[in-house]
Amino acid sequence: MVTRDEDPGQAAARLTGRAVSGTYAVSASPAEVRLDDGTPVMVKRADAPGAVRAEAAGLRWLAAAGTVRLPAVLGCDERWLVTERVATGRPDAKAAFRFGQALAALHAAGAPRFGAAPPGGPEEAYIGLAPMRNVPGAEWSGWYAERRVLPYVRGAVERGTLRPGEASVFERLCARLPELAGPAEPPARLHGDLWSGNVLWGADGEVRLIDPAAHGGHRETDLAMLQLFGCPHLDRILAGYEEAAPLADGWRTRVGVHQLFPLLVHAVLFGRGYAEQALAVARGALTA
C-alpha cells in the first residue's frame, strides 16, 4: 500500500519486494538504502507528473543498446525510482577512451525519429527540473529550433532572465540552422543530459551514466554537453569516440550551436548568467 508520507526505505521495500536493513538518509533524494542481503540501492523521489516514468524508460532504452553501462531499474511507480547503486572510483584515461567508444556505439543504436521518446516514456518529460517535450520531427534543424531552443527562449523571457529584444538573436540563429547544422545525420540514441555530474567513474574501471533525459537527437549534442561544464579526461573520451565513429567535418565549430539547449535550460532554471552565455554563443555562431 502506498502512503503519502512513505520514506525511501519503505518505497524500496515495496517496489523491490525485499526487506530493508541498515540506515538511509530519509530527507535526501536520491537516498541510499540497503536491502536485507546488504545490497545498496539508490531511491529517488520525483513529484512532477511523468518524471519517474521518463527516467526509468530512458535508463532501460539506453541500457538496451548494450553499449554504455547504466544502473538497472529495480522498481518504480509514479513517484519513486529504485536503481542499482554504482560504486565509484577515480577517473581513468583508459576508462575514458573505452567510454568514448561505447558512447559512439550507443548513439549508433539510433532512434525512430528526432525527438522520439524512449519506449514507454511520456511525451512530457524532463531535463533536470525543467519540462522537456519529446515530440518527433522529420529533420534535425527544424526540430531542434522548435522543440529545444525556442521553448526555452520563451521561458527565459517570461522569467525575466532574457530581455524581450534579445530573443531575436536566437530566432535569427534558428532561421539559419539548416546551413549551420552540418551534414545530415540519422537520429541518434541520446542520453540527453550528458554533463559530467551524470558520468560516474565506476570502481571496476567502467563508466556508468545516470539521470538521462533520453530521446532521439543529434549525436553532437551529447558531446557538446560533455564539453560545456568540463569532464575528466575529455580528450580521451573524444579520441575513443572519433576512433569508433568519426564526426563530420567542422564538428568543433558546431559545439556552441548544440550547447544552446542546455544553456537555455540553465537560463530558465538558474538565471541571467546562463542567459548571457547563451547569447554569446548564439552571436558567435551567427558571425562565424
Q: Which residues are catalytic?
A: 193
Burial 27-57 (b: 16+ CB within 10 A, else e): eeebbbbbbeeeeebbbbbbeeebbbbbbbb
Distance CA 264, CA 229 (A): 14
User: Based on C-alpha coordinates, what's the Rg of the chain?
Assistant: 19
Cβ atoms of residues 85 and 32 within 8 Å: yes
C-alpha cell at 131: 519540462
Amino acid at the residue 144: Y
Distance CA 187, CA 138 (A): 10
Distance CA 156, CA 151 (A): 9
Distance CA 11, CA 3 (A): 9
Q: Considering only CA atoms, which of 210, 221, 203, 218 is closest in space to residue 258?
A: 221
DSSP bridge pairs for 88: 202
